[in-house]
Amino acid sequence: MKKKNVLLVVCALLLGVFSAPLRAQKHGDWSMTVGADAVSHYLWRGMELGGPSVQPSLYFDYGRGDWAVSLGLWGTRSLFANRYGEHYGELDLSIEASWRNFTLSLADYGEGRYFGPWQEGHFLDFGLSYTLSENIPVTLSWYSIVNQTFEGSLDGGGFDWAAAFPSYFEVAYDFSLSVVDFSVAAGMFPFASGYYENDAFGICNLHLSAGHEFEFQHGGTLPMAAQIMYNPVFNEFFWGVSVGYYFSLDL
């Protein structure tokens, strides 16, 4: 089976499993959110993937009771060429299903030319997150690349699961002081992987962000944020600021 067909099958299964309780309801709440961010640096899991960039997005959300499903389209494009003379571009498709404190997600990271050969530059990222409670807003998240970006074969003929499915684990804590929302996170590579370019377990992302979202009467929002990030594995320090505009519409 081709990898593109595998993606379609997995998405269909996720929609079927998590939307079954939703279809049982006669009424639901649909909404659409569209907007874009302008960022000084594109930071992700302890790495800087791009400099000044524009990041548009479009999301369709459905919620009913304890269940919620979200379909998203997100992209980024650097405004200036990097040190290699290239403009970084990415287009991601995602599906996310939540039930109470659990969230299951699948994202297709399309780097470079999205509509080229599917096997080139596409990474399927499967994620599972759990938030302890509203009173203790600590979130544990695990993400693994599942389309075997790396073969994972061993010299002895065995199979290296860690290399075949590069993984990332994160613990995050969100809180607010006055009108400022903060997030503190620690991310790590559980195993060695070529995808993340690490050769052993290591803490790769010590992250702090602070921001505020301004709301307008017509329904639009203006989020502004600043963040700092330190990667102990590569001994690199990053910072970034962002400002965006989003508009939500009930369907």
* CATH number for the domain harbouring residue 125: 2.40.160
Polymer length of the chain: 251
Summarize pLDDT for 167-182 with one digit per residue, the tens: 999 999 999 999 999 9
Which regions of 29-121 does DSSP assign to beta strands (E)?
29-39, 42-44, 47-50, 53-64, 67-78, 89-99, 102-111
Task: Report whether pLDDT(107) > 80.
Answer: yes
Provide the whole-model pTM: 0.82
Q: How far apart are CA 7 and CA 9, in angstroms?
A: 5
Given pLDDT bands bounded at 50, 70 and 90, which one contains residue 159? Answer: low
CA atoms within 13 A of residue 230's CA, in its CB half-sphere: 5
Read off φ and ψ for residue 234, nearest 5 degrees: -105, 5
Task: Report whether pLDDT(127) > 90.
Answer: yes
Task: Report whether pLDDT(149) > 60.
Answer: no
Summarize pLDDT for 38-89 with one digit per residue, the tens: 999 999 999 998 899 999 999 999 999 899 999 999 999 999 877 666 788 8
Q: How far apart are CA 200 and CA 190, in angstroms?
A: 8
Quote the domain boundaries for residue 157. Answer: 3-250
Enter the DSSP assignment of 204: E
Weakest mean pLDDT among 120-124, 144-148, 235-239, 245-249: 120-124
CA atoms within 13 A of residue 229's CA, in its CB half-sphere: 24
Please tell me which residue, 120 or 88, carries the higher pLDDT value.
88
Q: Which among 209, 162, 168 has a CA at the least distance from the CA of 187? A: 168
Q: How far apart are CA 112 and CA 122, in angstroms?
A: 9
Q: Is 130 helix (H, G, I), strand (E, B) or coil?
A: strand
Q: How far apart are CA 109 and CA 166, in angstroms?
A: 14
Task: Confirm if 145 and 124 have CB atoms less than 8 A apart.
Answer: yes
Q: How far apart are CA 39 and CA 36, in angstroms?
A: 10
> Residues of the chain with pLDDT > 90: what percent?
63
Q: How far apart are CA 179 and CA 214, in angstroms?
A: 10
Please tell me which residue, 66 or 164, carries the higher pLDDT value.
66
* Total count of domains within the chain: 1
- Tokens 């009913």 correspond to 64
